Amino acid sequence: MAPYLFKRLGQSVLTVFLTISTVFVLIRMASGDPAAAYAGPLATTEDLAKIRAAFGLDRSVVEQYLLFLKGILTGDLGTSYSFRSPALDVVLDRLPFTITLAVAAILITTLVSVPLGVWMARRADTGRELGANVVTIAGQSMPDFWSGIMLLTVFAVLIPVLPASGFATWGGLVLPALTVAILQIALISRLVRSEMAKNLTAPYLTVARSRGVSERALVWRYAMTNSSIPVVTALGTRFASMLNGVVVVEVVFAWPGVGSLVVRALETRDYPLIQATVLVTAALAVTVQLLVDLAYPLLDPRVRLGKKVSA
Amino acid sequence: MSTTHPGPARVQRSGPGPSAVTPKHLARAKITRQRRGSRLKLWAGLVCTLVVVIPVALARVLPLPGPDQQDLASRRLAPFTDGHLFGTDQLGRDLLSRVLHGGQVSLLVGLLAVVVSGLIGIVLGAAAGYFGGWIDTVVSRLLEAQLSLPLLMMLLLVVALFGPSIPVITFVIAIAQWPEVARLTRSLVLVEREKPYVAAARVLGLHRLAILLRHVLPNVVKQASLVVLLLLAQAVLLESALSYLGAGPQRPFATWGRIISDGQDYITTSWWMVTLPGLVIVALVVGVNLLGDGLRDRARRRKVSTS
Amino acid sequence: MTRSGSGPELSRRTLLRWGAIAGAGVTLGPLLTACAGPTGTPGPGTLTLALNRSLVSLDNKLNQFDAAVTVQRGVRQALTRVGQDLKPQLVLADRFELTAPTQWTVHLRDGVRYSDGSPVTIEDVSTALKMYQQVNGSFIAGFFSEFPTVVPVDDATFLLQTERPIPVLDYLMANILVTPSASNRPEELQDGIGSGPYVVRSGNRGTGNYSLSVNENYWGPRPSVPNVQVRFVPEESSRVVSLRSGEVDVIDSITPDSADQLAGLPGVQITRTPSTRVNQLFYNFRKPQGHPLADPRVREALTYAIDGRSLVQDVLVGSVTQADGVVPTGLEGAVKTGEYVYDPNQARQRLDALGVRDLELKIIWESGEFASDTSVMEAVLQMLGQVGVRASLQQFEPGGDILSWRQGKAGDWDVLGNGFSSPTGLAVSILQGMYAGTPEKEQTRDTYQGYVVPSIAAQIADASAEPDAARRARLLSDAQKAVWATWPCLWAFVPNAVLASRSRVGDISLVPTNSYDLASARLEG
């Protein structure tokens, strides 16, 4: 267990390190000038040179990179140009909003997609299941920005019952979380369906049924337990990727999370802010992924960490 | 995929000789229902796809005003007025014409991206699966790393870096999609590698690369190509998301994402500017997804019944 | 079998359950504390504003975005301010007079104090001036030809002295915000106190949400609205929907289309006033001799291609006026200099007569430079096409790219979509910024798109240092006419400052600089 844990931890750290390094290089290759985005419209060439020097942008990229690495170790990710405060603070100010949205979306997803998937598996290949199947396909075929705007039009414009933007009340969470969940429900319920269909027709279930186990227990205890690994893995992976910022949905609903922050940081060439956002979200996502992996043996006693399942 | 379907076995067993199985039973049998389901999906998918693709392909021929032709006097006309089937936008341009012309780019980008990502994915996936060792380690690590990357952000970054031209956007989407193909190819090659014919070829003294290219890949490509349609659907969605966020070709060029993001400013007065282009995207993507799903179901069943 | 299996399963389940609870606690904990503070529903005593730009600072040393002015002035104040008639009004000073050509005498109002009760001192004013001077790339500093020095006379009286006369110093000082000298630094201040009617109770710079409440120590009459919520909502459509549904009370700097959508809705009122901004399609003045655009006659000929009336009526839905001068004619010292005329035949004939054929123009601009910018550009493209001029568009996302283009370092262009506002309310501020370029400045590409006409620059410099009002007006008028004769723009317009508010909000006096006085706003119901 311990060596495996260390190995996985090492891999996670390496992934985050490579990600952040790639981003570091990419943003410095990109065109655009943070100083020009920072200064007023009347700034002279001389002013800009002074600003660049103040930001440390006149140093070589290698030097900047080393300073940045040193900063990571000391927990100092630099000062955001556009927010004029420590980049890490800005990200941490916004992170709770993204986490809330992700938690809400994954809750809705789980609550809807598991029963839906089970229902579809039990009625596999009937006309009604086909109908549900097509609905889930439609769900995964909608661009999320479009479904977001549509929900917004219906529930904030035509029947103004929910707030359109931001997070001033808990009601503001409903539309963005639903928008994120639509796609996830479509994907997860199809997964639940195929896993459950596989288990519902497995011999062990027939044996259990012949022993008089109730249909309900068959589905929810027997088949479900065995289907849970891929489903939980998928949910965990989805959750992890949401932590990277649900960029489009956050933009549509002016949600003050890290996704909309990233778009803005990119626009203003706010290097420290881009780096801090990527570092924090990538670290978080990798951690969640790691936790999901570590949860395997809890769900399936056959799994020993670090060893392949032979079953 | 190792889904077991007890259906075919039952049908085969009851096939020969007189039996209690009537055509009515057969019609209700699981396999028949499955076949009917996938046929339905295929047809519905084909119809949805063609309803979008044919007009898009014929956009230049159809009797429509140009996509950039403005008429400031007839701004934001509702659908079905003055011969504008989809209405007009904020500059009095025909919305249908813009949607169809924009669709050409979306489809082109989607198709190209699928080809590029397919090539990258098959090459890397096959190499990883067949040769194993450090190649496998590197490819697997890359696949894993991409899962935890802030993908859309990286794509926006690359577009900001190289400018929003069609080749760049295509390339960026291909980058986003290759892991799916690579993962599938890798797992298929892993299975194929252990088959006797590969060992036979090796005994005959064929070069490893030759075995991979001439014997293993042809057996894998067909199965791997089943994901193509699903990738196309994703590529179209990704392209529209990028152009919605502003990473699209220069104005006044219409793209689906941009038409919707422009229309968003008018949602309280002009519903059609967002709704209709969105419905077109949904129709296309649903169609392509249904087609892909139906084909996959069919292939899977065929595999089960032959094994 | 089932019973024996339930032992470890139960423990697994309990573990999972505890894990889930712990996870939820960890993730939601910080959020709940974050939400407890600034956010909440608009109550009877709370005015909610939605800004389209994040308020990153309550200071303006570096940049002055229209969106921020209202809230900044609610917390920090200057000696004067620019009023609705674009004339300076006294705020922290109760006397601000020109007592000699290079000397102003200022007296601080009795009893002016900060929110902590400490008095505003002369030292604070002098420090503030120094700090604005030291900031790199300050927008405000650009309007000062030189910074005055503060010479104290007594406890509350001081002189502002300059080398050359600055006859409009009372206007300029409206933008110098005064802060206690001990905590003032040459950067945009993130915290600290001011003398304004409101204090920041809590704020989240990351999300751009601020919560203000009345300054209990305010030296002036107590404002009638006790609390102000400031929210950052970047999407224009979201702001419109939020105002419609009553989630927010005021949205400012709205686009013509939003105003059009909101006009006539019950419970919503729209306030407009001509602004101090001029938006232009400015020609590139760095074209080599012999290029068609280097010839003012070609520049003039092209203006006939632009259907200004259509742009104003249809694209900008009547919320702008076509420019009839080189600066907004409402500004102090501005004069009418001419009209843009739409006559495509004339444009074609003139271009033909000048031997200009197959002209191709590249129009560049930065997203969001002015409201409905993309629609205007796309419409202009079409209009140029109708006189046989092929144009292409290049839109830049905000990110600093456009600056190197403007300076001619990254690529060639012909027409730039750009806006220029005068936060001072003075015509001379815009003239200095755009048309006073010198060959020395051009060496570092620091002139306005390469506009270098030494005679005009000299006229503007003379005017800005002329203490005699009548003579100054004449000099300025001459300079503006000279500028117009060089045809610097393909087209230009003056937008209205437009603000939409719920009808429960009263007495919002929008001033042309696109801000309003929070202290005078009222809330009914």
Q: How many CB pairs under 8 A join B and C?
A: 58
Question: Does B9 lie at the interface with A, CB-CB under 8 angstroms?
Answer: no
What residues of chain A lie within 8 A of the CB of B4, using their CB? Answer: 198, 201-202
C489-502 and C250-252 strand pairing:
antiparallel
Quick check: C445 and A295 CB within 8 A?
A: no
Residues 223-282 of B with CB under 8 A from A: 233, 237, 240-241, 244-245, 257, 260-261, 264, 267-268, 271, 274-275, 278, 281-282
Residues 273-302 of A with CB under 8 A from B: 274, 277-278, 281-282, 285-286, 289
Distance from CA of C295 to the nearest CA of B (A): 28
Euclidean distance between CA atoms A63 and A88, whole angstroms: 21
Q: Among B230, B253, B224, B233, which residue's Cα sits nearest to residue B107?
A: B233
Residue of chain B whose Cα is closest to the Cα of C396: B250
pLDDT of residue A306: 53
pLDDT at position A102 over 60: yes
Quick check: B72 and C392 CB within 8 A?
A: no
Q: How many CB pairs under 8 A join A and B?
A: 151
Euclidean distance between CA atoms B37 and B45, whole angstroms: 12
Please report, as a single letter, which amino acid is at residue A98.
T
Tokens of C146: 């030189």
Residue of chain B whose Cα is closest to the Cα of C311: B72
What residues of chain A lie within 8 A of the CB of B290, using their CB? Answer: 134, 137
Distance from CA of B142 to the nearest CA of A (A): 9
Tokens of A223: 């088949």
Residue of chain C whose Cα is closest to the Cα of B268: C261
**What subunits touch chain C, counting only 3 or more CB pairs under 8 A?**
A, B
**Rounded-to-10 torsion of CA B18, B20, B23, B29:** -120
Write the CA distances from A299 to A237, A286, A292, C10, C413, integer angstroms: 16, 20, 10, 11, 63
Q: Among C119, C108, C168, which residue's Cα sits nearest to residue C464?
A: C168
Quick check: B251 and C374 CB within 8 A?
A: yes
Euclidean distance between CA atoms A100 and A106, whole angstroms: 10
Residue of chain C whose Cα is closest to the Cα of B267: C237
Cα first-last separation, chain A: 20
Question: Does B157 lie at the interface with A, CB-CB under 8 angstroms?
Answer: yes
- Give the single-character DSSP code of C293: G
Quick check: A198 and B282 CB within 8 A?
A: no
Euclidean distance between CA atoms A215 and C170, whole angstroms: 86
Residues 101-140 of A with CB under 8 A from B: 124-126, 130, 133-134, 137-138, 140
Long-range contacts of C438-441 (CB under 8 A, 24+ apart): C441/A44
Q: Could you tell me how far CA B226 lies from the centroid of its own chain?
A: 10
Tokens of B97: 């014409």
CB of C249 within 8 A of CB of C49?
yes
Q: Please state which of the ranges A26-40, B273-287, C7-21 shows the lowest mean pLDDT.
A: C7-21
pLDDT of residue A99: 92
Cα first-last separation, chain B: 13
Please report, as a single letter, which amino acid is at residue B199.
A
C209-214 and C227-232 strand pairing:
antiparallel
Chain B residues at the C interface, defined by Cβ less than 8 Å, are 68-70, 72-73, 75, 90-92, 160, 246, 250-252, 262, 264-269
Question: Does B39 lie at the interface with A, CB-CB under 8 angstroms?
Answer: no
Average pLDDT (A110-130) is 88
CB of C427 within 8 A of CB of C334?
yes
The CA-based angle A273-A274-A275, given to 5 degrees, is 90
Q: Mean of the per-residue pLDDT values for chain C?
A: 87
Residue of chain A whose Cα is closest to the Cα of C24: A103
Question: Which of B6, B260, B285 lies nearest to residue A201, judging by beta carbons?
Answer: B6
CB contact set of C484 (below 8 Å; sequence gap of 6+): C325, C326, C337, C338
Rg of chain A taking only CA atoms, in angstroms: 24
Distance from CA of A19 to the nearest CA of B (A): 7
pLDDT at position C190 over 90: no
Euclidean distance between CA atoms A191 and A198, whole angstroms: 11
Distance from CA of A268 to the nearest CA of C (A): 4
Distance from CA of A265 to the nearest CA of B (A): 11
pLDDT of residue C258: 87
Tokens of A256: 């003050």
CB contact set of C511 (below 8 Å; sequence gap of 6+): C82, C83, C84, C86, C273, C497, C517
- Is residue B69 classed as helix, strand or coil in its secondary structure? coil
- Is residue C179 classed as helix, strand or coil in its secondary structure? coil
Total residues belonging to chain C: 525
CB contact set of B285 (below 8 Å; sequence gap of 6+): A141, A142, A143, B233, B236, B237
The CA-based angle B91-B96-B97, given to 5 degrees, is 75
pLDDT at position C1 over 70: no
Write the CA distances from A62 to A67, A69, A88, integer angstroms: 9, 11, 22
Quick check: A165 and C242 CB within 8 A?
A: yes
pLDDT of residue C283: 96
What residues of chain C lie within 8 A of the CB of B69, using their CB? Answer: 382
CB of C276 within 8 A of CB of C321?
no
Q: In a structure prediction context, what are the per-residue pLDDT tens digits for chain B, which is 307 residues long?
A: 344 444 444 444 444 556 777 777 776 777 787 788 888 889 999 999 999 999 999 988 888 888 888 888 788 888 988 888 899 988 889 999 999 999 998 899 999 999 999 999 999 999 998 888 889 888 888 887 776 677 787 888 888 777 788 899 999 999 888 988 898 899 889 888 888 888 888 888 888 888 888 888 888 888 877 788 889 999 999 999 999 988 888 777 889 999 999 898 888 888 999 999 999 999 999 999 999 888 888 877 776 666 5
pLDDT of residue C22: 52
| DSSP letters for C82-141 | E-TTS-EEESSEEEEEEEETTEEEEEEPTT-B-TTSPBP-HHHHHHHHHHHHHSTT-TTG
Average pLDDT (A12-33) is 84
Q: Mutate which of C315, C369, C377, C396 to test chain B, going by most B C-beta atoms within 10 A?
A: C315
Other beta carbons less than 10 A from residue B33's beta carbon: 18
CB of C476 within 8 A of CB of C332?
no
pLDDT of residue A308: 44
What residues of chain A lie within 8 A of the CB of B269, using their CB? Answer: none
C415-421 and C360-366 strand pairing:
parallel
pLDDT of residue A309: 42
What residues of chain C lie within 8 A of the CB of B262, using their CB? Answer: 374
**What is the enclosing helix (H) or strand (E) of B266?**
none
pLDDT at position C369 over 90: no
Question: Which of C57, C244, C398 lies nearest to residue A84, judging by beta carbons?
Answer: C57
pLDDT one-digit tens code per residue, B138-171: 888 888 777 667 778 788 888 877 778 889 999 9
Question: Does C397 lie at the interface with A, CB-CB under 8 angstroms?
Answer: yes
Q: Among C214, C263, C437, C349, which residue's Cα sits nearest to residue B268?
A: C263
Residue of chain C whose Cα is closest to the Cα of B73: C314
Q: How many CB pairs under 8 A join A and C?
A: 183
Q: Among B172, B305, B142, which residue's Cα sits nearest to residue B245?
A: B172
pLDDT of residue C256: 85
The CA-based angle B68-B69-B72, given to 5 degrees, is 115
Euclidean distance between CA atoms B131 and B119, whole angstroms: 18
Quick check: C378 and B70 CB within 8 A?
A: yes
Question: Does A157 lie at the interface with B, CB-CB under 8 angstroms?
Answer: yes
Partners of B88 in beta bridges: B94
What residues of chain A lie within 8 A of the CB of B33, using their CB? Answer: 125-126
Q: Mutate which of B49, B148, B165, B275 to test chain A, going by most A C-beta atoms within 10 A?
A: B148
**Rounded-to-10 torsion of CA A105, A216, A192, A134:** -90
| DSSP letters for A14-63 | HHHHHHHHHHHHHHHHSS--HHHHHS-TT--HHHHHHHHHHHTTTS-HHH
Question: Does B304 lie at the interface with A, CB-CB under 8 angstroms?
Answer: no
pLDDT one-digit tens code per residue, A246-304: 889 998 988 988 988 888 888 788 899 999 998 998 888 888 888 887 877 777 777 66
Binned at pLDDT 50, 70 and 90, residue C399 comes out as low
Q: Please state which of the ranges A168-182, B22-36, C9-23, C433-447 shows the lowest mean pLDDT.
A: C9-23
What residues of chain C lie within 8 A of the CB of B261, using their CB? Answer: none
Euclidean distance between CA atoms C32 and C376, whole angstroms: 45
Q: Is the peptide bond before B252 cis (omega within 30 degrees of 0)?
A: yes
Write the CA distances from C525 to C249, C252, C503, integer angstroms: 12, 21, 10
pLDDT one-digit tens code per residue, C243-301: 988 889 999 888 888 888 898 888 999 998 889 999 999 999 999 999 999 999 999 99
Distance from CA of A141 to the nearest CA of C (A): 24
Quick check: A54 and C136 CB within 8 A?
A: yes
Average pLDDT (C320-331) is 93
**What is the enclosing helix (H) or strand (E) of C497?**
strand C489-502
CB of C437 within 8 A of CB of C457?
yes
pLDDT of residue A38: 77
Q: Mean of the per-residue pLDDT values for chain A?
A: 85
Question: Does B149 lie at the interface with A, CB-CB under 8 angstroms?
Answer: yes
Quick check: B241 and A145 CB within 8 A?
A: yes
Question: Which of C54, C207, C444 lies nearest to residue A45, judging by beta carbons?
Answer: C444
What residues of chain B lie within 8 A of the CB of C377, using their CB? Answer: 251
Write the CA distances from A75 to A98, A129, C371, integer angstroms: 22, 53, 41
CB contact set of C316 (below 8 Å; sequence gap of 6+): C256, C371, C372, C376, C493, C495
- pTM score: 0.84
pLDDT of residue B141: 80
Average pLDDT (C382-387) is 93
pLDDT at position A90 over 50: yes
Question: Does A156 lie at the interface with C, CB-CB under 8 angstroms?
Answer: yes
CB of C281 within 8 A of CB of C415?
yes
- Is residue B28 classed as helix, strand or coil in its secondary structure? helix
CB of B7 within 8 A of CB of B14?
no
CB of A290 within 8 A of CB of A9?
yes
